[in-house]
Amino acid sequence: MSTFANIFMMRHLRSIFFLFALLCATVTVAQSASPKYEYRAVWVTVIENLDWPRTVARDSEGIERQKASLLSLLDSLQAMHVNTVLLQTRVRGDVIYPSRIEPFSYLFAGATGKDPGYDPLAFAIEECHKRGMQLHAWIVALPLGKDNHIRRQGKQALPRRRRDLCTHYGGQWYMEPGNPATADYVVELVKEVVSNYDIDGLHLDYIRYPDRTAGYPDAALHRKYGKGLPLAEWRRRNVTEIARAVYRCVKELKPWVRVSSAPLGKFDDLTRYSSLGWNAYDAVFQDAQGWMRDGIMDILFPMLYFKGNNFYPFVLDWQENSCGRHIVPGVGAYRLLDEYGGWSPIELERQMNTSRTAGTAGTAMFRAEHLIGCAYDAYSRVYDKPAFVPPMDWGKGSAPSSPEILFTERNDSVMSLRWSAVHGAVGEPPVRYNVYGSLGDSVDTSNIDNLLAASLTDCSFEWHCRTFLPLTVAVTAVDAYGRESAPAVVARGDEDIFVEELLLPEQSVWGSRVEVTDIYGRRIYWGKYSRRIVVRGLQGGYYFLKIYDRHGALTHSRTFKVKTESCSEGKV
């Protein structure tokens, strides 16, 4: 048997085995283990005021209602362990932020180009980050809207300003992918968003030809720019070049920002399963798997709003062709509604668990209203624990170095830590820190259950626990790509960390405080005055002991030495 035949047979058998496993998954919905890294994404739709904003802001009260509506939405998503918000940022030739290129969407202040009195994108980014969620700016790349939408935009409409970039087809306007200048225009929009906002990702939607292209009027452009390529191949090249230009732009500006797109749910026909004529490759000319091979996309969110054999085999196909990048199947939460199929919630659970079993990087729900409104229980059963957004291991540079733990203190139910700062690459966002804790002599930082705190910006942590105090604590550094350092671990009984019992002079003034610092002035201990105190987290060397009265005045000061050969000496 030839090498090619062997490879084909192995892949075919693997697919059969996996599909058998998926068939078993459709019989029972057994929850798989919750991983530490997993996208829990959701599309937040602005068009037609579907998810946000629900009301128009014509005055200060209207602004506050819009803001409160978003806060309520984000609070609900946070409670469900959503960690990635795909917020529609370019709608249909209009945007949700003050732009020098395109007008404000009428959906916020009631008229195209009218400033609503605040920056909705900046507000959404800030509030997502407060809740530990990423925000990816969702850019609708090519559709510009129906005729009535263009009339509403008036002179600000792109077909009025740049007719050369636009094509009218089937009662709608589109940016023309066959014109090379279209890629330049989209790149300018992307550059504006990435340069001016602290987004975590740039998400391209509708980076494709119209859904039905019979009679699409691009024959003249094909003759002019086609360079002898067949029409279908030329169209795929046009879409790919827009994706490539966007990716290069983002990575030149901020290489840690994730670039993604939402192709049609089925890439192409499979050997045993047909796409029924509705696929990314042939129907709308998206060579999305080629984008992964070329390294011009970090994440794909294929819109797999189907079930049965229209879902499970195609998930496997996407994952098998991920080329080490992230595949995040789009799941149709709206399908639970009677008017959109009336699916059972069990179907959603199966799709989420199957995606996890297939090795995908998570799932994305369409859309926020339906996730919260009708898919809440099913989603919460599968995603019952938090998860980090998966790291971009292919990003520039490498994972950060480990921090150095400077001291620890455990006093009753309070644990205090301080560690050295880790510096990331020049020009990149500051490194953040995660803290883990566990009973026993070690801590498993791969287990999300051991997480005590995430994304800390300061090099210190204080944890109050009423039930138990971890015996082992670990600190890791995390860079902008999501890559985590090896843990710095400290455990009770660590041979390099000593405990001192200090006998203090009599102090009769109520409210006095005690401070212990090292010779560099770094605080090791701070607490209420007691005749005897126990200071943990010391290393060999000299320390300063100070006592302050309740007004903050220094009443006593002296030095003491910790001997490295014994942690029982050094009483003062």
Please name which of 196, 236, 243, 235 lies closest in space to residue 216, comparing C-alpha atoms: 235
pLDDT at residue 46 tops 70: yes
Burial of 137 (0-12, 13-18, 19+ CB in 10 A): buried
Longest Cα pair distance anywhere in the chain, in angstroms?
Answer: 95
Separation between Cα atoms, residue 542 and residue 533, nearest integer Å: 17
Q: What is the pLDDT of residues 347-387, one digit of tens each?
A: 999 999 999 999 999 999 999 999 999 999 999 999 999 99
pLDDT at residue 567 tops 80: no
Task: Please report which confidence band the pLDDT of residue 32 belongs to, taking 50, 70 and 90 as the band edges.
Answer: low
**Average pLDDT of span 37-42:** 98
In this structure, what token pair is assigned to residue 201? 């990702």
- Written out in words, the top-level CATH class of the domain with range 405-491 is mainly beta
Average pLDDT, the chain: 89
108 sits in which H/E element: helix 106-109
Torsion, Cα 479 484 488 489, to 10 degrees, reads 140
CATH 2.60.40.1220 domain position(s) in the chain: 498-562
**What one-character-per-residue DSSP string does 53-73 give?**
--S---SHHHHHHHHHHHHHH
Is the model more confident about 470 or about 431? Answer: 431
- Written out in words, the top-level CATH class of the domain with range 498-562 is mainly beta
Helices then strands, counting H and E runs in the chain, come out as 15, 25
Separation between Cα atoms, residue 331 and residue 460, nearest integer Å: 40
Question: What's the start-to-end Cα distance of the chain, in Å?
Answer: 83
Give the list of residues 6+ apart from residue 87 with CB closer than 8 angstroms, or none.
44, 46, 96, 121, 124, 135, 136, 137, 138
Residue with tokens 């205090």: 416
Residue 325 DSSP one-character state: S
**For residues 18-50, b (16+ Cβ closer than 10 Å) or e, as one string?**
bbeebeebbeebeeeebbbbbbbbbbbbbeeeb
Give the list of residues 6+ apart from residue 464 with CB closer than 8 angstroms, or none.
413, 414
pLDDT at residue 492 tops 80: no
**Average pLDDT of span 396-419:** 85
| Phi, psi (rounded to 5 degrees) for 184 | -65, -40
pLDDT at residue 8 tops 50: no
Q: What is the pLDDT of residues 516-562, one digit of tens each?
A: 887 777 777 888 888 888 776 666 678 888 888 877 888 888 888 87
CATH 3.20.20.80 domain position(s) in the chain: 32-141+181-382
Give the list of residues 6+ apart from residue 121 with CB closer than 8 angstroms, or none.
87, 89, 96, 97, 137, 193, 197
Q: Where are the beta strands (DSSP E) in 170-300?
A: 172-175, 201-205, 258-261, 299-300
Preceding peptide of 367 cis, ω within 30°: yes
pLDDT at residue 572 tops 60: no
Please name which of 40, 195, 255 lies closest in space to residue 132, comparing C-alpha atoms: 40
Please name which of 519, 404, 414 lies closest in space to residue 461, comparing C-alpha atoms: 414
CATH 2.60.40.10 domain position(s) in the chain: 405-491
Give the list of residues 6+ apart from residue 163 with CB closer than 8 angstroms, or none.
none
**What one-character-per-residue DSSP string does 456-478 give?**
E-SSEEEEE-SS---SEEEEEEE
Question: Residue 432: beta bridge partners?
Answer: 478
Please name which of 225, 145, 215 lies closest in space to residue 179, comparing C-alpha atoms: 225
Please name which of 222, 324, 208, 221 lies closest in space to residue 267, comparing C-alpha atoms: 208
Separation between Cα atoms, residue 4 and residue 87, nearest integer Å: 44
Torsion, Cα 523 524 530 531, to 10 degrees, reads -110
Please name which of 205, 201, 206 lies closest in space to residue 259, comparing C-alpha atoms: 201
Could you say which architecture CATH assigns to the domain 32-141+181-382?
A: Alpha-Beta Barrel (3.20)
Task: Please report which confidence band the pLDDT of residue 171 belongs to, taking 50, 70 and 90 as the band edges.
Answer: very high
pLDDT of residue 25: 45
